[in-house]
Amino acid sequence: MISYIIPTMWRSLRILEMLHRYEEDDMVSEVILIDNDTTKTYDISGFKKIVYLPQEKNIYVNPAWNLGASVAKSEYIAICNDDITFDCKLANKAVINNIGESIIGIHPESFMYMGDETYITDGKHVGSGWGVLMYMKRSNYVMIPDEFRVWFGDDVLGLNFDSPQSLTIEMHTEMSTTSKEGFVSGVIESDINNFKVLMAKYNVRLDGPIDIRSALLKIWEGGMKNDLVKLNEQ
């Protein structure tokens, strides 16, 4: 059984279509909705699987993932954007049969793929769109650092696994509906500034311009992984 964790600000109607699909999928045990904008909430009273977590203010995507993972009850969790539509029954079947102790994100080709089959390949946790839908065992989730509210969350989760994988499945989206709005830009800037602070904390120095992926890997290997493991054990 899978718990779906979905932060939302109700900017896309795709979430309403997906709530019906989750409701009809026997492999979905619960849908944890972290509502970051309660002024726009749709009527969700008819859905039996929803665990509704309204927030007094926007806590942003990565803290919402952490919150959802902390209350999820299923063996497996899915971290999911609210502005995508896909065949969750196909995805869930492919994931359960292949995931093991790994993490599975979305292959970038999914946004161009038109078909009724699924494919799972080496993920390397790098690529546009990989983090819009990620599956893993709940016990393997690692809390994303407080310094990151919008960016880097999927990278941190991917780095926590030796062999991340990618799922190719037909998927449709407006892509990052919420992040296109102006209020997010300041949060992203804050995330980047905090990233630089972490570079200093873990003595990461790079020659030339900052390569975000390379720097994050060095931060991870330089001590952040051990610190997060200790935090999750508390």
pLDDT digit string, tens, across residues 99-114: 999 999 999 899 999 9
Shared domain for 168 and 186, answered yes or no, is: no
How many domains in the chain? 2
Shared domain for 229 and 154, answered yes or no, is: no
E strands in the chain: 2-8, 28-35, 50-54, 76-80, 84-86, 104-106, 119-122, 133-137, 165-168, 171-173
Q: Which of 175, 195, 225 is the last residue of a domain?
A: 175
Element (H, E) at 212: helix 212-219
Q: Which of 175, 201, 221 is the last residue of a domain?
A: 175
Identify the CATH number of the domain in which residue 133 sits. 3.90.550.10
Q: Which of 143, 175, 207 is the last residue of a domain?
A: 175
Shared domain for 171 and 185, answered yes or no, is: no
Residue 70 has pLDDT above 60, yes or no: yes
Q: Say which DSSP state 76 is in.
A: E
Q: Say which DSSP state 144 is in.
A: P
Shared domain for 184 and 156, answered yes or no, is: no
Tell me the CB-side half-sphere exposure of residue 42, using CA atoms within 13 A. Answer: 16
Shared domain for 146 and 120, answered yes or no, is: yes
Shared domain for 109 and 202, answered yes or no, is: no
Beta bridge partners of 30: 3
| Backbone region of residue 129 per phi and psi (left: phi > 0; alpha: psi in -120 to 50; beta: other values) | left
CA 125/CA 113 separation, integer angstroms: 19
Classify residue 149 as exposed, middle or buried by CB count within 10 Å of its CB (0-12, 13-18, 19+).
Answer: buried
Domain containing 197 equals 180-233
Shared domain for 46 and 28, answered yes or no, is: yes
Shared domain for 190 and 122, answered yes or no, is: no
Shared domain for 168 and 193, answered yes or no, is: no
| pTM for the model | 0.86
Shared domain for 22 and 84, answered yes or no, is: yes
| 149-187 pLDDT, tens digit each | 888 899 899 988 988 999 999 999 886 655 555 556 666
